[in-house]
Amino acid sequence: MFERNIQRLVVGSAIAIATTALLPVVKKTLSPIVQDFTKQMRYLMVTAKEGIEDMAAEVKFERMRKAIDKELAIEGELLSDHQPGPFIKIEK
């Protein structure tokens, strides 16, 4: 049991020393990768936002176009129901 505890202490100490030695190297290595990933995610978010805004604008435009078309159709029906003024009928 005592030997097992000493073995754990030695392994734990070795891991702690290795971690303190490797941490700056890992940090320096991963930093550009994380920065590049962050830039790519920002670009993705901006692109997705622009796409959603474009779709929303197109939907609004289509709704306005349909409303105007409907309004013009109603006005056209009202004008066609209106009787024209009197005409002179000429017979030969």
Give, for 82, the enclosing helix (H) or strand (E): none
Is residue 16, in this structure, part of any structural domain at all? no
Is residue 5, in this structure, part of any structural domain at all? no
Tens digit of each residue's pLDDT (9 = 90 or more) over 65-92: 999 988 888 777 766 665 555 556 666 6
Is residue 11, in this structure, part of any structural domain at all? no
Q: What is the pLDDT of residue 72?
A: 84
Task: Quote the domain boundaries for residue 51.
Answer: 32-77
Q: Which residue has the tokens 């056209």?
A: 76
Largest CA distance in the chain: 133
Is residue 38, in this structure, part of any structural domain at all? yes
Is residue 83, in this structure, part of any structural domain at all? no
Give the 3-state secondary structure of residue 49: helix
In this prediction the pTM is 0.51
Is residue 73, in this structure, part of any structural domain at all? yes
Q: What is the pLDDT of residue 88?
A: 61
Is residue 69, in this structure, part of any structural domain at all? yes
Q: What is the pLDDT of residue 79?
A: 65
Domain count along the chain = 1
Tens digit of each residue's pLDDT (9 = 90 or more) over 29-73: 999 999 999 999 999 999 999 999 999 999 999 999 999 988 888
